[in-house]
Amino acid sequence: MNPPPRAAGTALDDAAELIRRAERAVVLTGAGISTPSGIPDFRSEGTGLWSRDEPLEVASLNTFRTHPELFFRWFRPLAGQIFQAKPNAAHLALAELEAAGFSQTIVTQNIDMLHQKAGSKRVIEMHGTLRTLSCTQCYRKFESGVFVQRFIEEGTLPLCLNCGGILKPDVILFGEQLPQSALFEAQHAVRQCDLMVVAGSSLEVLPVAGLPMQAVDRGAHLIIINQSPTYINVRADVVLMEDVAVVLPDIARRVLHG
């Protein structure tokens, strides 16, 4: 017989106590932490990006190489949403916890830079970033600001100032390997952690989805905050299937102020 569900207040207190006791906490975030900032996730029915477009047709490395204009046409509204977005209460709560010494590392599947905008310092970006662009011809790297702003406003494709080649955002497309340095950093952090907090991720995309299992198998505690269930809910110490932008600030207040 399954135990009765924990009351929300009790679960919040349990989560706060786990964070307070942890010495090496790692937070894994996904698209669900950024949807309250106006950035669509990928899989939500009706609103997710992949409910409207076939990912291999618009967001694959092969599409970018053969029909870059198709990729950029799909990407333009999303880039606008990302660059206009501001950190929400969940991002700010994680930055507060880090500043107070209660969180060591954020591993994120997001490319929106909202953790950094909120003030977090130690962020491992598993799927790349929109902060920079790289030339597909001479491989020179550029800060994205001016290029992406012109692209959003005018539809002007970003071209290399050195050779005129097309600039690719430094984000991971379908068919492209994850940045090995980020993967190694994340795996190292997970091997050392005594607590993992999953916030806003359905844990459906490997290899990132396997990180919580690695942590739990090594004896770490696990907190999951996500509105839909994940494969590892059954192994978690605390599961909160609620809005991460509401729950995380509440937990942070309990950690920081009792």
pLDDT in tens, 33-88: 999 999 987 544 444 444 455 555 777 898 889 989 988 988 888 888 898 999 99
Positive or negative torsion for Cα 39, 44, 49, 52: negative
CATH 3.40.50.1220: which residues of the chain?
1-39+87-127+178-258
Residue 127 is a catalytic residue? yes
Q: Does domain 42-84+129-171 have CATH number 1.10.420.10?
A: no
**What is the per-residue pLDDT across 219-248, written as a single tens digit (0 to 9) for each?**
999 999 999 999 999 999 999 999 999 999
Residue 191 confidence (pLDDT): 95
3-state per-residue secondary structure call for 61-77: HHHHHHCHHHHHHHHHH
User: Which CATH entry fits the domain spanning 1-39+87-127+178-258: 3.40.50.1220, 3.40.50.300, 3.40.50.620, 1.10.10.60?
Assistant: 3.40.50.1220
In DSSP terms, which residues pair with 141 in a beta bridge? 134
Q: Pull the structure tokens for residue 41.
A: 């996730």
Taking the C-alpha atoms of residue 206 and residue 159, their distance in angstroms, rounded to an integer, is: 32
67, 91, 115, 127: the catalytic one is 127
CATH 3.30.1600.10: which residues of the chain?
42-84+129-171
pTM score over 0.95:
no
Cα 51 from chain centroid (whole Å): 19
**What is the per-residue pLDDT across 171-214, written as a single tens digit (0 to 9) for each?**
999 888 888 999 999 999 999 999 999 999 999 988 999 999 99
